[in-house]
């Protein structure tokens, strides 16, 4: 059992006068890098399990998207130069005399993800992939394989993870808006809406300002009047989605850099700015809960692509989130919770060197009254870290 430090938060998060929340949607270049790194890790896990019976050492958490060059225009433009994506990191290339087809796995996992995540982009035509995966260092591989003998997964890094609960109303709004705009139903009804959608939300007391950046797809828009009409439809969709999570006063703007008089619009051929206007990199976007929340505790660790067995930079962010969520869900005395975990390389992942939990309690209740329950919840969630591994491999948990 790991001793837990419990302290009291002095104020409720929702009592703040100002709150800022952001989400980079699935088609944003940074999110694309996160997603492809994570998909590659999942593919490697599945291959290792099928052929060797265990998940072998890998960390493929380095990816760079170099934007391409396009010429969008009303009615349909063209890709002049494809975007290029560089997948880099470390992986087990050979085990017990059997070589792992790393380059094939990179191409398969990335192309599958791209073609299933975009409704217009063609991975074979619009994207050029580069595999830059090399073997891991001898000491980290040895540390990783030590678990095969002991059955105990050992942290392969000294790192920290953070989590908090519950989500605020504004955070729920941001998640719901982006997921609505990128849902299959919306794409069917409004194919002009691309996957590259960024939501920036600002709450000032009881007023919410939503700024939407949406990459429209040129082949579904006939002219500037049609563009303006479909942008108005987009704003209506955003309003309807936001109102399902909040009854606060809403102000919504979209593609604010447009200048119709100068024929400047946010048009794309494929639905992402990565085709021409932007580049991407793993770790520059959403945290493991899918949000960018500067007013909350955040961790700069890039979770996507790290192995789901021993890499605490991934696992501890997920476990910390679950600890906070479980505390708030199961203990009526607690209104809000934040959890901080710190690992030490070479130690069992179930035994962090620090567990620090901060609670905002219901009125007139002290943290001492829930200390034993918080300790029990923490111990249980840390022991469940092995279940998180299986959920990550199965694609049941997103880290972006």
Would you call the peptide bond into 203 cis, given omega within 30 degrees of 0 as the criterion? no
Could you tell me the residue ranges of all domains in the chain?
5-16+158-167+291-393, 29-150, 169-281
Cβ atoms 204, 36 nearer than 8 A: no
How far apart, in whole angstroms, are the C-alpha atoms of residue 351 and residue 329? 24
The pTM of the full predicted model, rounded to 2 decimals, is 0.95
CATH architecture of the region 169-281: 2-Layer Sandwich (3.30)
Q: Is residue 60 within 8 Å of residue 41, measured between CB atoms?
A: yes
The domain defined by 5-16+158-167+291-393 carries CATH number 1.10.10.10: no
Give ∠ CA 168-174-175 in degrees, rounded to 5. Answer: 90
End-to-end CA distance of the chain: 31
Return the structure tokens found at 365. 């209740």
Q: E strand or H helix at 208, and its extent?
A: strand 207-217
CATH code for the domain defined by 29-150: 3.30.300.10
Domains 5-16+158-167+291-393 and 29-150 in one fold: yes
Asked whether 168 and 20 are in contact (CB, 8 A), the reply is: no
Q: What is the pLDDT along the chain (400 residues), one digit of tens a residue?
A: 668 999 999 899 989 999 999 999 999 999 999 999 999 999 999 999 999 999 999 999 999 999 999 999 999 999 999 999 999 999 999 998 999 999 999 999 999 999 999 999 999 999 999 999 999 877 777 777 777 777 788 998 999 999 999 999 999 999 999 999 999 999 999 999 999 999 999 999 999 999 999 999 999 999 999 999 999 999 999 999 999 999 999 999 999 999 988 999 999 999 999 999 899 999 999 999 999 999 999 999 999 999 999 999 999 999 999 999 999 999 999 999 999 999 999 999 999 999 999 999 999 999 999 999 999 999 999 999 999 999 999 999 999 9
């Amino acid at each position: 059992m790991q001793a837990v430090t419990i302290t009291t938060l002095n104020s409720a998060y929702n009592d703040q006068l100002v709150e800022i929340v952001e989400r980079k949607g699935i088609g944003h270049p940074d999110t694309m890098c996160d997603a492809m790194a994570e998909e590659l890790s999942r593919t490697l896990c599945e291959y290792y399990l099928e052929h060797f019976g265990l998940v072998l050492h890998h960390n493929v958490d380095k990816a760079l998207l170099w934007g391409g060059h396009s010429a969008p225009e009303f009615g349909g433009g063209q890709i002049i130069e494809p975007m290029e994506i560089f997948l880099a990191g470390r992986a087990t290339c050979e085990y017990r005399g059997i070589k792992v087809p790393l380059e094939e796995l990179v191409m398969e996992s990335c192309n599958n993800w791209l073609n299933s995540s975009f409704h217009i982009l063609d991975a074979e035509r619009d994207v050029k992939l580069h595999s830059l995966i090399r073997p891991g260092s001898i000491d980290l591989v040895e540390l990783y394989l030590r678990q095969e003998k002991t059955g105990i997964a050992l942290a392969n890094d000294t790192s920290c993870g953070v989590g908090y609960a519950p989500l605020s109303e504004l955070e729920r709004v941001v998640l719901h808006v982006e997921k609505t705009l990128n849902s299959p139903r919306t794409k069917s009804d409004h194919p002009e809406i691309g996957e590259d959608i960024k939501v920036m939300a600002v709450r000032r007391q009881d007023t919410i300002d939503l700024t939407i950046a949406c990459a429209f797809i040129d082949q579904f828009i006939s002219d500037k009047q049609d563009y303006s009409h479909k942008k108005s439809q987009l704003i209506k969709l955003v309003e309807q989605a936001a109102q399902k999570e909040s009854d606060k006063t809403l102000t919504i703007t979209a593609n604010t850099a447009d200048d119709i008089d100068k024929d400047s619009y946010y048009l794309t051929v494929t639905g992402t700015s990565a085709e021409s206007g932007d580049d991407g990199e793993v770790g520059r976007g959403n945290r493991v809960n899918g949000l960018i929340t500067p007013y909350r505790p955040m961790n700069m660790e890039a979770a996507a692509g790290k192995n789901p067995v021993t890499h605490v930079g991934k696992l501890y962010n997920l476990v910390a989130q679950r600890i906070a969520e479980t505390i708030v869900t199961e203990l009526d005395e607690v209104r809000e919770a934040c959890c901080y975990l710190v690992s030490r390389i070479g130690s069992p992942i179930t035994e962090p060197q620090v567990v620090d939990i901060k609670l905002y309690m219901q009125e007139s209740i002290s943290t001492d009254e829930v200390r034993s329950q918080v300790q029990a919840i923490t111990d249980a969630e840390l022991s469940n870290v092995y279940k998180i591994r299986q959920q990550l491999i199965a694609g049941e948990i997103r880290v972006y």
